[in-house]
Structure 1
Amino acid sequence: MKKLVAFLIISIAFSSLASFKTSKPESFGFYKGSFDNVIRESKKQKKPIILDFWAAWCAPCQKLDKETFTDKELGAYLSQNYLVYKVDIDTFDGMEIVDRFSIDVFPTMLVYDPKNGQIGKFKGFYPAGYLQKELEKVQAKYNIYPVHTQDGLAINR
Structure 2
Amino acid sequence: MKHIFKIASAFLLLASPFFALNAQTQSTEESWELVKKQAVAEKKLIFVDLYFTGCMPCAQMDKEVFPDPKVAALLSADFVTFKSDILKEEIGKKLCMKYGVTGFPTFLFINSDGKIIDIAAGFQTVDQFTALLQNAKEAAKKGNFKKYSPEVQEKDYPEFYQQAYMAGKRNVSFEVVDAYLKSQSSLLSEVPFVIITGLRIGREYDDFFFKNIKTLYKDYGKSSVNCQLFHILQRKRKEFEKNDDLAGFKKVLDSSKEYYTSDEWTRYEGILLKDFGAAKTSDNPYTLQK
TM-score after normalising by structure 1:
0.68
Which residue of the partner structure matches residue 123 of structure 2? 125
Tell me which residue corresponds to 1:51: 48
Distance 1:28 1:119, change over 3 A: same
1:68 equivalent in alignment to 2:58: no
2: CA distance, partners of 1:138 / 1:92: 26
User: Residue 106 of structure 1 is aligned with which of 104, 108, 133?
Assistant: 104
CA distance in 2, matches of 1:63, 1:135: 18
Consecutive aligned runs of 4 or more in structure 1 exceeding 3 Å deviation: none
CA distance in 2, matches of 1:116, 1:57: 29
Report whether the alignment pairs 1:42 with 2:32.
Answer: no
2:141 corresponds in structure 1 to 143
Contact 1:53 1:106 in 2 (8 A): yes
Of structures 1 and 2, the one scoring higher in RCO (CA 8 A, sep 6+) is 1
How many residue pairs get aligned? The number is 118
Deviation at 1:94, TM superposition (A): 1.8
Q: Which moved more, 1:133-142 or 1:60-69?
A: 133-142
Give the partner amino acid of 2:60. Answer: K
Counterpart pick for 1:29 among 19, 38, 57:
19
What is the CA distance between 1:131 and its match in structure 2?
Answer: 0.8
Change (3 A) 1:124 1:70: same
Question: What is the CA-CA distance between 1:85 and the residue it aligns to?
Answer: 0.5
Query: Which secondary structure does the structure 1 equivalent of 2:49 belong to?
Result: strand
Q: Is residue 61–residue 106 contact of structure 1 (8 Å, CA) maintained in 2?
A: yes
- How far apart are residue 55 of structure 1 and its match? 0.5
CA distance in 1, matches of 2:59, 2:136: 24
Percent of pairs with identical residues: 25
C-alpha separation between the residues in 2 aligned to 1:93 and 1:116? 15
Q: Give the match for residue 77 of structure 2.
A: 80
Which ranges in structure 2 are unaligned for 5 or more consecutive residues?
A: 1-16, 143-290
Deviations 1:34-84 (A, max 9, x none): 111111111111111111000012111000110111111210111001111
Kindly state the Cα deviation for residue 116 of structure 1 after the two structures are TM-superposed.
5.8
Cα distance in 2 for residues equivalent to 1:128 and 1:84: 17
CA distance in 2, matches of 1:133, 1:72: 14
Once the two structures are TM-superposed, the CA of residue 104 in structure 1 deviates from its matched residue by 1.5
Partner of 2:272: none
Q: CA RMSD in A?
A: 1.9
SS across alignment from 1:30: helix
Give the secondary-structure state (helix, strand or coil) at the position aligned to 1:143: helix
Following superposition, the deviation at residue 119 of structure 1 comes to 0.4
- Which one has the bigger strand percentage? 1
